Amino acid sequence: MKIGYLGPDGTFSQLAASKLEKSLSNVDVEKVAYASIPSLIAAAGSGEVDAAVLPIENSLEGGVNTTLDCLAFECDLSITKEILIKVRQNLLSKTDMKNIKKIYSHPQPIGQCSRFLAKNFSNVEIVYTNSTAQAAAFAAKDTSSAALGGESLADKYSLNILAQGIEDNPGNTTRFVVAKKNPPPIAEADKTSIVFNVDNKPGALFKMLSIFDIFGINMVKIESRPAKTVLGEYVFFVDINGSTKDENIERDLEIVKYKSTFFKILGTYKEEKNGRD
């Protein structure tokens, strides 16, 4: 089985892919790194890999927009599993803090460490990278710079850990999902993700969300994103407790689909609680 993840090695996405590998008993696994989320999703869609491990949400920074948009509009993959990874960010460099003139990292860690950066590096240039591993590679070559990322990157790129646990909240957790093309049903599924939009009319969203209340369905997340059509049009990502095989949810989603101008089930899968299956 080939598992794709956002690389290169040393990223939290690789940790999530390794966690998935450990959960697969009696299966030979090959992990393949990709440079971007769109290229990873394209590989899963074409069959180049059997599954894509995708960051979808962080407890501090919210949804990962590229993943949400790709799953909603650009592919026919389905979510089959979620993986929670506790994220601890570190400041990595070959110099000391007073000599740092530039800091590299992916936008998510930069957002997760905003208070630390504002307090200690308010006048330092921040450079966005495709991954924390790429940031560490840049910092290894540029001796007046630093990177934000996981502790494992220090050994891999011969960097010093100048500060540990610099995220704004110690409960910082990233939620990953495993996405596959045409997966079989998940027998113990207890969580479902959907995306839809509604007419741009007063009360339209309220009426749509009221449907979940009528059927006694718990929404654990709702998030909006631009609909990629015209300015002011949005789609809504909703996670609910339960499986599409549940009678109440099946009836509820039929009505939501009927009343939506765009509707898609992103997946029905087993919820992971507190970082443990």
Sign of the alpha-carbon torsion through 234, 240, 246, 247: negative
Mean pLDDT for the chain overall:
92
**pLDDT for 201-233, tens place per residue?**
889 999 999 999 999 999 999 999 998 888 888
Q: How confident is the model at residue 61 (pLDDT cuts 50, 70, 90)?
A: confident
Q: What is the pLDDT of residue 11?
A: 82
Q: How confident is the model at residue 274 (pLDDT cuts 50, 70, 90)?
A: low
Where do the domains of the chain lie, and which CATH numbers do they carry? Answer: 2-87+172-180 (3.40.190.10), 90-164 (3.40.190.10), 191-266 (3.30.70.260)
Token output for 213: 């209340």
Percentage of residues in the chain having pLDDT higher than 70? 99
Query: Measured between alpha carbons, how far is 1 from 4 in angstroms, rounded to an integer?
Result: 10
Answer yes or no: is pLDDT of 185 > 90.
no
Query: In a 10 Å sphere around its CB, with 0-12 CB exposed, 13-18 middle and 19+ buried, how is residue 133 labelled?
Result: buried
Q: What is the pLDDT of residue 148?
A: 96
Answer yes or no: is pLDDT of 17 > 50.
yes
Q: What is the pLDDT of residue 194?
A: 97
Answer yes or no: is pLDDT of 276 > 70.
no
Answer yes or no: is pLDDT of 16 > 70.
yes
Answer yes or no: is pLDDT of 255 > 70.
yes
Percentage of residues in the chain having pLDDT higher than 90? 73
pTM for the model: 0.81
Q: What is the pLDDT of residue 199?
A: 87
**pLDDT for 144-153, tens place per residue?**
999 999 888 9
Q: How confident is the model at residue 161 (pLDDT cuts 50, 70, 90)?
A: very high
